[in-house]
Amino acid sequence: MSEPSRTALVTGGAGGIGSAMAEALIDDGLAVAILDIDEQAAAGVAAQINARCGAERVIAIAGDVADEGCCNDAVAACVDRFGSVDVLVNNAGIGVSSIRPDAERNHPSIEEIDRALWDRFFAVNVTGPLLMVRAALAPMRARGWGRIVNNTTSFFTMLRVLPYGASKSALESMSAIWAKELEGTGISVNVLVPGGPTDTPFVGDDSGIPRDKMLRPAIMGPPMRWLASTASDGVTGQRFVAALWDAGLDDARAAKAAGAPIGWPDLAKTVVWPD
């Protein structure tokens, strides 16, 4: 399933789920640009992968996805270095553990969420992916092929955790809209989520969830590799739960078992719309 001529740009790729997906794409033959707000961590991951691969297959780009200039510059740097951006993985995000250590267990209240906090969550989790997609579409359209993979969250979290769940609900909706808009262009839009709490710094140590009970970031690798390949041509508007991906099956069967339409399409049938 190797794609040696293709390039992926992974936001939030300096650790956790992001670096796990970057590693998987590298192992499948892609070149990878890692965009992360933590410049030192991004450079460290890139150096580690390049040392293992024996070639300059990864570049690190420092930047905040909430900044439009950073998004444009990241895509330009990726194209300048590798010639294209074929796969965009919108993984960068901010979670409730950044509010306080136990927020995964004791969810932030309405009174606790001030305007600045709300704006920051939506800037990173919603506006960031929008800006990245806008920047990456031109090189994808030029090649007539592209992959946009968005990391949202479980529906359970969307319905229970502010402001994180609300921001990820917005990205889920945007993903469905983009998939429809880009239908027939050769550019697919899909969602890939772990399926539950994952053992990364994104979930604080005081979350109340034992680390040994959490999912491992590496589970994102197999579905990410398939989504980034030509084997998934024609697959768009779907959400895949990595925890349900059975690596013992062939990719097509694993995708069928782990996939479903993005968002809440059944609810759209209940609308009363004028003829």
| Alpha-carbon gap, residue 95 to 98, rounded angstroms | 6
Distance CA 95, CA 163 (A): 9
Cα separations in angstroms, 160 against 9, 123, 125, 153: 31, 20, 17, 11
DSSP string, 85-149: --EEEE-----GGGT-TTTTTSPPPTTT--HHHHHHHHIIIIIHHHHHHHHHHHHHHHHT-EEEE
Please report, to the nearest 10 degrees, the dihedral formed by the alpha carbons of residues 98, 99, 101, 103 taken in order: -110
d(CA 190, CA 199): 23
State yes or no: is 164 an active-site residue.
yes
Residues 6+ apart with CB under 8 A from 109: none
- Catalytic choice (82, 122, 164, 202): 164
b/e burial code for range 54-76 (CB count within 10 A of at least 16 → b):
eeebbbbbbbbbbbeebbbbbbe
- The token duo for 84 is 């294209």
What gap in Å lies between CA 7 and CA 78, rounded to an integer?
8
**Which residues are known catalytic residues?**
164
